Amino acid sequence: MKQREPLVRHIFTADPSAHVFDDKIYVYPSHDIAHGGEDDDDGGEYQMEDYHILSMDNLEADCVDNGEALHMKDVPWVSKQMWAPDVARKDGKYYLYFPARDKEGIFRVGVAVSDSPVGPFKAEPDYIKDSMSIDPAVFEDDNGRYYMYNGGLWGGQLEKWQTGEFVMGDPDMIPGADGPQGDEAALGPFAAELADDMKSFKETPKMVQILDENGEPLKAGDEDRRYFEGPWVHKYNGLYYLSYSTGTTHYLVYATGTDPMGPFTYRGRIMEPVLGWTTHHSIIEYHGKWYLFYHDCELSNGINHRRNVKYTELEYNADGTIKTIFPYDHLDKQDTV
């Protein structure tokens, strides 16, 4: 595969969660379905129904689509919209975590299990208790403890859980208007340690705090830096890196901390905007180098719900900061939104 080119072209894929298992690369994306409907700020255009798992023997090898691994028709609690997933491995089992709307239209997170990294996966009959919102990402720490991070504004319903219960808010207000505004503290992703069975939480998920350079919470109106969706956590030189999409401003940014549950301090941008809406991503180490997996809308010429997964090398500065990536600098383009 070549860097910054679509991994596959026969289907639309997005939101890649990449992992290395037994020296092979596996990518767990969402599967965009092409349709003629309009885009909206509530995510109605993203009508995904199943998951196809991609794999590569190495970064130079062809990318293989391993077929359908799980479909919504096989998940009893799901009504629609199986969005961005992630996977964790423990004791030879693979756990696929996925968000979807339940029968009441509320986003929850479910889990499905397989003996193989490419499935097929068998879903648990109900969603994870106390789960909410979208974009689950699971981080395995050096001590063998697993943490799930998730949450997304607007269509992802993150702002509707501020009281600990789901509150619809005023449907006549603009998307996100029932969440923090202006100088109010911005929302962060939820996080919780997973229980030993990998199918439940050890504790009720808590909201992660993201701070500015002065130790103050990022403000809701700071759209260049505040959290919107797509969390990912990795560890580099003993430091935890929380990366995420800013949504409305299309940046991929990161914050660092000394505890997997936060707080995290904003550090900078990982990637400038891509063609399309947001930059949902993941970060892996492979053979001593680091790589960023992401998506854009190159194959569809900018149609937001027809995306394609790519990867590129990620580099650190000597002080642990990440060098900002310009996704189209190899094409002499840096502003394609």
- Asked whether the beta carbons of 311 and 303 are under 8 A apart, the reply is no
Locate 53 and state its tokens: 């798992």
**Peptide bond connecting 136 to the previous residue in cis, omega within 30 degrees of 0:** no
Catalytic residue among 32, 135, 159, 229: 229
| Cα–Cα–Cα angle for 326, 279, 14, rounded to 5 degrees | 120
| Catalytic status, residue 68 | no
Domain boundaries, the chain: 12-70+145-331
* Of residues 85, 73, 140, 145, the one with CA closest to residue 110: 85
- Asked whether the beta carbons of 97 and 27 are under 8 A apart, the reply is no
- Please list the residues that pair with 100 across neighbouring strands: 108
| Catalytic status, residue 15 | yes
In 3-state terms, what secondary structure has residue 255?
A: strand
Q: Which CATH architecture has domain 12-70+145-331?
A: 5 Propeller (2.115)
What residues contact 71, with CB distance under 8 A and at least 6 apart? 49, 50
Catalytic residue among 15, 86, 135, 298: 15
Q: Give the global pTM.
A: 0.95
Residue for token digits 């840096």? 334
Q: What is the pLDDT of residues 298-312, one digit of tens each?
A: 998 877 878 899 999
Q: What is the mean pLDDT of the chain?
A: 93
- Asked whether the beta carbons of 158 and 169 are under 8 A apart, the reply is no
Q: What is the pLDDT of residues 12-54, one digit of tens each?
A: 999 999 999 999 999 999 998 877 666 655 666 666 899 999 9
Q: What is the pLDDT of residue 225?
A: 98
